Chain A
């Protein structure tokens, strides 16, 4: 709990000063920290009383390194409500005023970085994009399902990134024109939605097939592949074949069972299932050509 006070003075002196004085410094630092913490908690209580409404949050806690958090549990936080507050705002309030060890990822708070995707009231959502007023209380906040929890609301995203990298999400044309590479308006319209992906991981976390089959590429990766496959600026046949070959492996597009959960939870409204279906049709057409 005393993480807020920098202990630089104590650290510098511990080597040179005798034990007694550094202990004194440390005690003072501790007291200052506790005082500040108590004040912030009291501040929260005041604000709570002042606010007309407060929101009840139930937040998943887990920490393998702290003894009483090794068994996951739900902590209750009461956060004063102001108009326009998002779930992320509430989480930050809880962390700043009640428990500074509450750990979660967040960055831009404007739905473009994709860091704060979580499972809120039974659905994958971006916390910064979700209005508290639309959530039924108590607001239940959990880390994304089907992924290993590192601590509290933070999940291990490595698997997600692996699948994204596996589709080679970059242009690969060797022959580029000497001037700009032009793209027609229609082509841009076609791939427009697929370019909006912010790598938040909500879709993959919502897919039951991705949950069961570890090798499944996942909707985000396939959508990324779609974005490149359909882009007319990369129009060499062998490249398209190459991309398609990655997608039509056993754990590629074929694992999709059109459950539509990905499309439903995508915070950028990308029609993921539609893109996956288009790629399935492409793969079939491509295979039939050889007959």
Chain B
């Protein structure tokens, strides 16, 4: 065989307009999966402040009170806008992964193969709806509890 030329993958992102629904579903599911795994590790790390807290470690918070390091860490994080924003992002990512995951489970059971692209769009729309509906709740109480 003579030399050949590597033209790059179709999913070379400059050709994104040519992607099909199923392809987008696969890409998003992978992407949200990575984000969630990253979050899982971070989450356990943050929650690990419960160990020193349980052993009695206290700190003084912004209001001058003595609180456990666990409570303080969490309320400190929750008081920043960026963390709130990231939480909304986390919700979006998790909801999409769940809804598309349900779509995939149905496909694995042999249900809904003919309308698989429609169910993908449905899961996108539902994700958007749920996220928008939850923003007020997520943004409540910002600025310190």
Contacts and interface: CB of A to CB of B under 8 A. Distances in A.
Contact of A274 (B20, B22, B104, B113): B113
Given A208-B26, A261-B23, A146 B2 contact: no
Contacts of A206: 10
Given A274-B110, A281-B110, A156 B1 contact: yes
B9 A211 contact: yes
A259 interface: yes
B28 to A, nearest CB: 12
B11 interface: yes
A128 B25 CA distance: 31
Nearest to B10: A145
Contacts of B9: 145-146, 208, 211
Contacts of B23: 208, 259, 261
Contact of B113 (A64, A151, A156, A271): A271
Interface string B107-120: 11010010011000
A213 B7 CA distance: 17
Interface in B1-55: 1-7, 9-11, 15, 17-18, 20-23, 25-26
A206 B110 CA distance: 22
A260 interface: yes
Nearest to B29: A257
Contacts of B26: 208, 257-259
A260 B22 contact: yes
Given A145-B10, A257-B26, A261-B22, A278 B110 contact: yes
Interface string A255-277: 00111110010000001011001
B113 A277 contact: yes
Contacts of A258: 22, 26, 104, 107-108, 116
Contact of B25 (A143, A156, A259): A259
A122 B22 contact: no
Given A208-B11, A257-B26, A259-B22, A122 B17 contact: yes
A199 to B, nearest CB: 19
A7 to B, nearest CB: 25
Contacts of A259: 22-23, 25-26
A72 interface: yes
Nearest to A142: B7
A44 to B, nearest CB: 29
A150 interface: yes
Contacts of B5: 62, 64, 72, 148-149
Contact of A264 (B7, B10, B20): B20
Nearest to A143: B7
A118 B4 CA distance: 17
Interface string A201-222: 0000010100100000000000
A188 to B, nearest CB: 21
Contacts of B107: 258, 273, 277
Contact of A122 (B3, B11, B15, B108): B15
Contacts of B6: 148
B122 to A, nearest CB: 15
**Which 10 pairs from chain A and chain B are nearest by CB?**
A148-B4, A260-B22, A122-B18, A145-B10, A259-B22, A64-B3, A259-B26, A149-B5, A258-B107, A64-B2
12 contacts: A62-B5, A65-B2, A122-B15, A142-B7, A145-B9, A145-B10, A146-B10, A258-B104, A259-B22, A259-B25, A260-B22, A277-B107
Interface of B: 1-7, 9-11, 15, 17-18, 20-23, 25-26, 104, 107-108, 110, 113, 116-117
